[in-house]
Amino acid sequence: MTDILDELQWRGLLAQHTDLEALREHLNAGPVTFYCGYDPTAPSLHHGHLVQLIVMRHLQLAGHRPLALVGGATGQIGDPRQSGERQLQSTDVVKGWADRLHSQISKFLDFEGPAAATMVNNLDWTQEMSAIDLLRTIGKYFRVGTMLNKDIVARRIASDEGISYTEFSYQVLQANDFLELYRRNGCTLETGGNDQWGNMVGGVDLIRKVEGVDTHVMTTPIITKADGTKFGKSEGGAIWLDPEMMTPYAFYQFWLQVADDDVVRFLKIFTFKSREEIEALAVEVAQRPHQRAAQKALAASVTELVHGADQLQRVLAATDALWGGGDIRDLDEATLAAATAGLPRASLSIGESTVADALVALGFEKGKTAARRTISSGGASINNVKVEDPEAVLGHDDVLAGGLALIRKGRKNLAVLELS
């Protein structure tokens, strides 16, 4: 089997780390218990968290034991951001978000077998500590000068807004998490994003000072596009993993639109496809980019990973029905609504309005004369069925799930009618 660190490096999932050879020996010596933390600062995980979940899964498949930490305590604080102070949420909100993250994370790891994963919540040990306990037993090991020199802290201090003691103390709490997991679970490795490097190294230093033991950390790079810009924004905002915040159809379409310059690298990062499969797709990108085979493989793999095989099949059916030869009437209301959410739309009445009226209402034609001419020439369809009568009236048979109908002019102009 390929060395796990070599595999992560090949996939572009390894950035900073403690002593590489020592880490390699540690991982090769036997099953290692490791952890990654996820703070409930929003109701859902996003694509950045997905990178960490994939790293955890790679390590688990290599025989190592994951601890997935939900930050019920640190989520009430929030790690410092470059853009300024976080808005603190109520305890009840954080708890609700923590429960949602717990459910999301659970889908990515195995909780049985020799490398069984364990879910932990840092509220379990943090809430047991008094302020005196924290200052006496943990705080005394931290030097303010070192804390001030942390990159994100230094930037915030230099900003007009500064940084509160609340967010400044975050690094102490995260370091204490590593110490507690070492004591409770024998955890000797922390993984996370590159922006967490300073906090993670703080945990290594704390364990060395308190327990006299060397532990390890490793980070993933911040994912960027080929042009150097940040990756991970759709027209609607962040790439959320929760289907209520980003539909599986929209999620699939986001990955389908990845540029040729990025797609092979993202196949390595966001999928578990083998080297041979990815190399074959790289050839497709180079020789037949118009077929977008790599993008289709990426979108299908990530959508199935996050939303499951059943949702992927619904998404593929919707994509085929809208842009291929599939039957639009096979789509359920939720899938159809998600697939058409970004299309132009208008509202018309059944039995009173014609297809020509629809073409005008949707802005496809300026007047009914031009609309009738388009229909007569075979240039209009409703629900993927060509309309032949220029005076055709919209009827009950034209209504799809959710009271919708699809009107198409030519091949590329597609819109939604809301029929009543």
The answer to the question of residue 289 being in a domain is: yes
Q: Are the C-beta atoms of residues 144 and 153 closer than 8 Å to each other?
A: no
Query: What is the structure's pLDDT at 413?
Result: 87
What is the per-residue pLDDT for 1? 41
CATH number of the domain enclosing 291? 1.10.240.10
- As a whole number of angstroms, the distance between CA 316 and CA 202 comes to 46
Could you tell me if 294 and 358 lie in one domain?
A: no
Please enumerate, by residue number, every residue annotated as part of a binding site for L-tyrosine: 35, 170, 174
Domain boundary among 169, 202, 220: 220
Round to whole Å and give the CA distance between 227 and 247.
Answer: 28
pLDDT for residue 270: 97
State the residue for tokens 């080297």. 275
Q: For the chain (length 420 residues), average pLDDT per consecutive 10?
A: 86 96 94 97 95 98 97 91 84 95 96 96 96 94 90 87 90 96 98 93 96 97 88 78 92 94 97 97 96 96 96 90 80 85 87 89 90 90 88 89 89 86
Binding-site members are 35, 170, 174, 233
Asked whether residue 335 is assigned to any structural domain, the reply reads no
Q: CATH number, domain at 354?
A: 3.10.290.10
User: Which candidate, 265, 80, 68, 246, places its Cα nearest to that of 166?
Assistant: 80
- For 367, the domain range is 345-419
- Closest to 73 (Cα-Cα) out of 120, 119, 31, 106: 120
27 and 145 both lie in a single domain: yes
Residue with the two structure tokens 């030869």? 325
Whether residues 58 and 156 share a domain: the answer is yes
- CATH (domain of 212): 3.40.50.620
Tell whether 242 is covered by a domain. Answer: no
Helix (H, G, I), strand (E, B) or coil at 61: helix
What's the pLDDT score for residue 245?
92
Per the domain annotation, does 62 fall within a domain? yes
- Whether residue 26 lies inside any domain: the answer is yes
Tell me how many domains the chain contains. Answer: 3
Same domain, 151 and 263: no
- Phi and psi torsions of 393, nearest 5°: -100, 140
This prediction's pTM: 0.90
